[in-house]
Structure 1
Amino acid sequence: MLKSVLKHYWFTGAATVAVVASAAYFVAVGEPDSGKTVKNPKSKPKNKLSGLINEGNTCFINATLQALASCPIFFNWIDSVLTRKTSDITEHYLRTTCSLNMTMAVINNQHPTIDVHTFNSRQLIQSLEKHGWNLKSEEQDAHEFFNMLSTTIDEEINKNNKISKGISIDEQATTSVCQPNSSSPFRGYLASQLCCLSCGHKSVRYDAFECLSIPLPKLDVRNAFTMLNVEGLLKQFLAAETVGEVQCDSCSLKNGKSVFLKQLSLGKLPQCLCLHIQRCDWTNAGQLTKRQDLVRFSEELNVGNFVYTNRLSGNFKPVTYRLRAVVEHLGMADSGHFVTFRRNIVDGRTRWFYTSDTFTRTATFDEVLKSSPYMLFYERCT
């Protein structure tokens, strides 16, 4: 409990109380349960990120945490949520949120008391297991962990709020989507517009997402190593398609069913955009394989052409996101290792880092662009 109280006081400005609590904490327990060692703050350079200890096949956790810690909007949102809560609520109902916040602060070298070269996520893992998640399975990966963590944080923060995952409205209704102020910066809404090809009736449905899982195009057996780009994959994912045998309430057809044109678009933009490139595929023989397609990406991603309101008005004004992290999977479909290239501000300058569990080093942006993305993390800049 003392650990969460300490965190609460530091980030609400009560520095004097935090100093006293910090001294009492270290006298009582010597070092934090979640840190490997506690060193003098000067022992680690301020441009050095902390690595994360592999707790036994937990590279998928470490890679995801490093990526999330590279997103200031998300980090500040978590911190603001905890600042608004009392210490009792923080301790008893926001265990995972508190553990995530502390972990991100430490690996970013921003924690007021914990200064380590390597850290562990044991406390965070235990809090997730108390929510019923099984983190010992060999089947899990970075994308699954991201969804698991997002769901748990949403449950903790919005424990008494009912959040609608899908909202259906007709074409004449407002196109805005309401959501609680405590929703994650990764929360966005896909607009699914249906147009009856028989009578022209239109309706739109909004479905919440935290991460867009983008499929690769059908594999060309004559060319296993195709060159793709993120914008093209998004265009394919959101492309219009026809859907048959759909009930139409306004249609004059006797059976009430018709063919519809379905068009997906971005109905409500998230502040942080997470894209998952689906690289696993099944062969005709029923074997799971990993796609090795080269997917190009750049530092900025313009999604203006995919925004629902832009398509309605025909005014495709730019909507730009800036790259914050790239999670890469090394190896085959049933084995391998997750690493992260992540962005960080050091002395007012943007620098890129390569992180692989406890190992961290600086990286060039050219090295980042040559990676094979499995997950891409962006923050909105316009």
Structure 2
Amino acid sequence: MSWAPVSTWSRRTPLAACCSAPELPPAGAWKACAAGSLRIGPQGRCKMMKNWGMIGGIAAALAAGIYVLWGPISDRKKYRKGLVPGLLNLGNTCFMNSLLQGLASCPSFIRWLADFTSKYRQENNTTEHQHLSVTLLHLLKALCNQEGTEDEVLDASPLLEVLRAHRWQISSFEEQDAHELFHVLTSSLEDERDRRPHVTHLFDLDSLEFPLEPQRQIHCRTQVPIYPIPSQWKSQHPFHGRLTSNMVCKHCQHQSPMRYDTFDSLSLSIPVATWGHPITLDQCLQHFISTESVKDVVCENCTKIHAAQIPNSQSVENRKTTFVKQLKLGKLPQCLCIHLQRLSWSNQGSPLKRNEHVQFSEFLAMDRFKYRISGCSTSKQPANHLSAAEQETTDGKEGGAQNPTMPFLNGACSTSYISPPFTSPLPTNPEWTSSSYLFRLMAVVVHHGDMHSGHFVTYRRSPAAKNQKLTSQQWLWISDDTVRRTNFQEVLSSSAYLLFYERIQSNLHHPEDQRAAEK
């Protein structure tokens, strides 16, 4: 044969040349080559066939590699349009992945985190990556395609490392609860918000002699008191709300002072289903605020009335009566997290999971569950109006607790976080169109399995396109690193464990903005 063997050619030729055909002999040499091949014998022909098979195999492997690495990019981008990145399961971290996808579906929470973390950027803090708010913000923005990354699967292990730095012992190999992790995140954010500047102890001689940040410590000692005045950035997170507790004596109708308690999520028990009637989210909310009787409560008013009826020489015992207690929502948050309690206990004391389907809707009107002062005008207030009590709340104070007669209007720490008038298909329910406290469904977290093991998945809205204020109507089903499109009927038929709603401004309050948005 007139050319080098395949083995010698393959060693001397660059790798890129493997994609092209080998140099062919002159046309006149074909006959001699054919005659020579006949004289080679069976073993030689077998060897030549193996050499040509090797060339074909190398070419096919390179072609497949090029297709995988630089294949139909346009088709893949077209398929990924409207989807979001998934999250890598680090062992048993589906509880964390599902919660992060749910939080990423709340734009007002991401905007609040951006304002919250701006404090560290202003200070040029070199350790800002150690802060939970910064790590959480970057992760949530990446899950909304706002970080410019093209990765289809993200790793959330930095969040676990930051939580461990906050002394939370969270293992990635043990099954955890998504609702418990939600409270871990909110409480850690509150701790980060309330963190005081570092003040050196008088007995810490090493720090006094060799300060790590002398100028910053001097600034804290000379210009800022030990307990600084709350600054503008120190605001409540969008999931922060308040409950009112009202108790009335059944005997004398005396009302005890109003109590206010904070909440990050509403944990609703599921009432017993009536045969033939489905369980709805409204029934769970109504059951949450229903009245209950509390026995053997000392009533100061009944004691005074009884004391006025007996001589002064006799001692008066405290009168115990039965009170009626009722919970209401004193301040509704911007982002409402509803937890449906699916844990129950059998008569033998073993835990059971309730798998009943609770019907919920895309829009949720909370007016019926809002606390209102008796005799107070029920005229609708704009969603961007803040009462004096809630303005004090933005400074970290318990506004309104000292003056129970002041109407406790709904609102948030900043009106910039409230979503604009909804431009998605308008609700037809009259209760929704006339609601002052209207919320829109953003995500649903579902648990599959029993009380001992299972898996968390998330239904969430696809993020809106850039430079668009429209809320996306495309829903996604996400299980760790698997993301697919789904329809809203599948979302409504799911057995919800966590519901994420976001407050929106009713078009009844802002008709001009609504008409402009529709144009």
Coarse TM-score class (shorter-chain normalised): 0.7 to 0.9
Q: Is 1:323 matched up with 2:323?
A: no
Q: Paired residue for 1:48?
A: 83
For the pair shown, the structure with the greater C-alpha radius of gyration is 2
Query: Of the candidates 464, 475, 490, which is equivalent to residue 367 of structure 1?
Result: 490
Contact 1:63 1:327 in 2 (8 A): yes
Where structure 2 has 5 or more consecutive residues not aligned to the other structure, the ranges are: 1-72, 198-231, 307-316, 381-434, 506-519
Determine the C-alpha separation between the residues in 2 that align with 1:236 and 1:156.
35
Aligned-residue offset at 1:139: 5.5
| 1:93–1:51 CA distance, 2 compared to 1 (3 A) | closer
Query: Of the candidates 263, 267, 281, which is equivalent to residue 209 of structure 1?
Result: 263
Secondary structure at the counterpart of residue 159 of structure 1: coil
Contact 1:46 1:109 in 2 (8 A): no
User: Structure 2 matches for 1:104-143, cutoff 5 A?
Assistant: 104-112=140-148, 114-136=149-171, 138=174, 140-143=176-179
Q: Paired residue for 2:325?
A: 262
Determine the C-alpha separation between the residues in 2 that align with 1:320 and 1:333.
33
State the Cα RMSD in Å.
2.6
Determine the C-alpha separation between the residues in 1 that align with 2:97 and 2:81.
21
Contact 1:305 1:316 in 2 (8 A): no
Q: Paired residue for 1:156?
A: 192
Determine the C-alpha separation between the residues in 2 that align with 1:233 and 1:151.
26
Determine the C-alpha separation between the residues in 1 that align with 2:174 and 2:273.
26
Secondary structure at the counterpart of residue 191 of structure 1: strand
Determine the C-alpha separation between the residues in 1 that align with 2:504 and 2:449.
34
| 1:89–1:267 CA distance, 2 compared to 1 (3 A) | farther
Q: Is 1:278 matched up with 2:341?
A: yes
Deviates more, 1:370-379 or 1:253-262: 253-262
Cα deviation digits, residues 255-310 of structure 1 (max 9, x gap): 24321111110001100100000001111112211101110000000110110027
Contact 2:299 2:318 in 1 (8 A): no
Determine the C-alpha separation between the residues in 2 that align with 1:180 and 1:70.
23
Determine the C-alpha separation between the residues in 2 that align with 1:248 and 1:134.
45
Query: Of the candidates 362, 365, 390, which is equivalent to residue 299 of structure 1?
Result: 362
> Whose helix fraction is larger, Structure 1's or Structure 2's?
2
2:463 alignment partner AA: I
Determine the C-alpha separation between the residues in 1 that align with 2:181 and 2:196.
24
1:287 alignment partner AA: S
Query: Of the candidates 226, 229, 247, which is equivalent to residue 298 of structure 2?
Result: 247
Cα deviation digits, residues 71-102 of structure 1 (max 9, x gap): 00001100111123335557359621111111
Q: Is 1:103 matched up with 2:154?
A: no
Cα deviation digits, residues 138-188 of structure 1 (max 9, x gap): 462110110111111111122249xxxxxxxxxxxxxxxxx9851110000
Determine the C-alpha separation between the residues in 2 that align with 1:264 and 1:180.
31
Q: Paired residue for 2:501?
A: 378
Q: Is 1:74 matched up with 2:109?
A: yes
Contact 1:150 1:210 in 2 (8 A): yes
Query: Of the candidates 175, 179, 183, which is equivalent to residue 236 of structure 2?
Result: 183
Determine the C-alpha separation between the residues in 1 that align with 2:378 and 2:245.
19
Where structure 1 has 5 or more consecutive residues not aligned to the other structure, the ranges are: 1-40, 162-178
Deviates more, 1:331-340 or 1:83-92: 83-92
The alignment's TM-score, normalised by the length of structure 2, stands at 0.58
Determine the C-alpha separation between the residues in 2 that align with 1:88 and 1:362.
41
Contact 2:444 2:459 in 1 (8 A): yes
Query: Of the candidates 291, 314, 337, which is equivalent to residue 455 of structure 2?
Result: 337
Contact 2:119 2:233 in 1 (8 A): no
Determine the C-alpha separation between the residues in 2 that align with 1:146 and 1:71.
14
Cα deviation digits, residues 176-214 of structure 1 (max 9, x gap): xxx985111000000111112233222210100000110
Aligned-residue offset at 1:371: 0.7
Query: Of the candidates 464, 474, 478, which is equivalent to residue 355 of structure 1?
Result: 478
Contact 2:105 2:463 in 1 (8 A): no
| 1:243–1:331 CA distance, 2 compared to 1 (3 A) | same
Secondary structure at the counterpart of residue 127 of structure 2: helix
| 1:282–1:311 CA distance, 2 compared to 1 (3 A) | farther
| 1:247–1:180 CA distance, 2 compared to 1 (3 A) | farther
Contact 1:94 1:157 in 2 (8 A): no
Q: Paired residue for 2:21?
A: none
Contact 1:70 1:342 in 2 (8 A): yes
Determine the C-alpha separation between the residues in 2 that align with 1:155 and 1:336.
31
Deviates more, 1:43-52 or 1:364-373: 43-52
Contact 1:304 1:316 in 2 (8 A): no
The alignment's TM-score, normalised by the length of structure 1, stands at 0.78
Determine the C-alpha separation between the residues in 1 that align with 2:120 and 2:374.
40
Determine the C-alpha separation between the residues in 2 that align with 1:331 and 1:312.
49
Determine the C-alpha separation between the residues in 2 that align with 1:93 and 1:125.
13
Secondary structure at the counterpart of residue 289 of structure 1: strand
| 1:237–1:180 CA distance, 2 compared to 1 (3 A) | farther
Deviates more, 1:46-55 or 1:137-146: 137-146
Cα deviation digits, residues 187-242 of structure 1 (max 9, x gap): 0000111112233222210100000110112478xx7x972111110000110111
Cα deviation digits, residues 287-338 of structure 1 (max 9, x gap): 2111011100000001101100276648496221000000000111111100
> Whose strand fraction is larger, Structure 1's or Structure 2's?
1
Determine the C-alpha separation between the residues in 1 that align with 2:259 and 2:321.
18
| 1:61–1:332 CA distance, 2 compared to 1 (3 A) | same
Secondary structure at the counterpart of residue 339 of structure 2: strand
| 1:53–1:380 CA distance, 2 compared to 1 (3 A) | same
| 1:270–1:148 CA distance, 2 compared to 1 (3 A) | same
Contact 2:83 2:462 in 1 (8 A): no
Aligned-pair identity (%)? 39
| 1:367–1:132 CA distance, 2 compared to 1 (3 A) | same
